[in-house]
Amino acid sequence: MTRVILLVLDSVGVGALPDAAKYGDENSNTLANIAKAVGGLSLPALESLGLGKIIPIQGISSTITAKANYGKMNERSPGKDTTTGHWEMVGIILDKPFPTYPSGFPRDVIREFEEKIGRGTIGNKAVSGTAIIEELGAEHVAAGMPIVYTSADSVFQIAAHEEIIPLDDLYRYCLIARELLRGEHAVGRVIARPFTGQPGSFIRTPNRKDFSLTPTGETVLQKVVHGGFEVVAIGKVGDIFAHEGITRSITAKNNQQNIEKLLVLLQEEFQGLIFTNLVDFDMLFGHRNDPAGYAEELVKFDKRLPEIINSLQANDLLIITADHGTDPTNASTDHSREYVPVLIYHRGIKGDHNLGIRETFADVAQTICTYLQIEPMKHGTSMLTEGE
Give the pLDDT confidence of 158-202 residue by residue, as tens digits: 999 999 999 999 999 999 999 999 999 999 999 999 999 999 999
> Which pairing describes strands 272-278 and 316-321: parallel, antiparallel, or unpaired?
unpaired
Q: How far apart are CA 311 and CA 248, in angstroms?
A: 20
Host H or E run for residue 303? helix 291-311
Q: Is the pLDDT of residue 65 over 60?
A: yes
60 φ/ψ angles, rounded to the nearest 5 degrees: -110, 125
Q: Which residues pair with 210 in a beta bridge?
A: 191
Q: Is the pLDDT of residue 386 over 70?
A: no
The whole-number pLDDT of residue 351 equals 93
Who's near 235: CB < 8 A, 6+ residues apart? 250, 251, 252, 253, 257, 258, 261, 276, 277, 278, 279
Q: How far apart are CA 192 and CA 198, in angstroms?
A: 19
Crossing angle between the packed helical segments 107-117 and 167-180, to the nearest 10 degrees: 140
For CA atoms 201, 205, 211, 217, the dihedral sign is positive
DSSP 153-171: SSEEEEEEETTTS-HHHHH
The whole-number pLDDT of residue 385 equals 77
Q: Using an 8 Å Cβ cutoff, are 128 and 151 in contact?
A: yes
Give the domains, in start order, of the chain with CATH numbers. 3-95+214-372 (3.40.720.10), 107-212 (3.30.70.1250)
- Percent of the chain topping pLDDT 70: 99
Q: Is the pLDDT of residue 387 over 60?
A: no
Mean pLDDT value across residues 24-43 = 98
> Which among 366, 318, 233, 385 has a CA at the least distance from the CA of 49?
318
Each residue's pLDDT tens digit, 83-138: 999 999 999 999 999 999 999 999 999 999 999 999 999 999 999 888 999 999 99
- Burial environment of residue 102 by CB neighbours within 10 A (0 to 12, 13 to 18, 19 or more): exposed
Q: Using an 8 Å Cβ cutoff, are 92 and 219 in contact?
A: yes
Each residue's pLDDT tens digit, 243-270: 999 999 999 999 999 999 999 999 999 9
Who's near 80: CB < 8 A, 6+ residues apart? 23, 25, 152, 153, 324, 325, 334, 335, 336, 337, 338
The whole-number pLDDT of residue 1 equals 87
DSSP state of 119: S
Residue 293: pLDDT band (50, 70, 90) is very high
The whole-number pLDDT of residue 152 equals 85
- Burial environment of residue 289 by CB neighbours within 10 A (0 to 12, 13 to 18, 19 or more): middle
Q: How far apart are CA 262 and CA 42, in angstroms?
A: 24
Q: How far apart are the first and last CA of the chain?
A: 16
Q: Is the pLDDT of residue 140 over 60?
A: yes
7 φ/ψ angles, rounded to the nearest 5 degrees: -115, 110
The whole-number pLDDT of residue 367 equals 98
Q: How far apart are CA 244 and CA 102, in angstroms?
A: 30
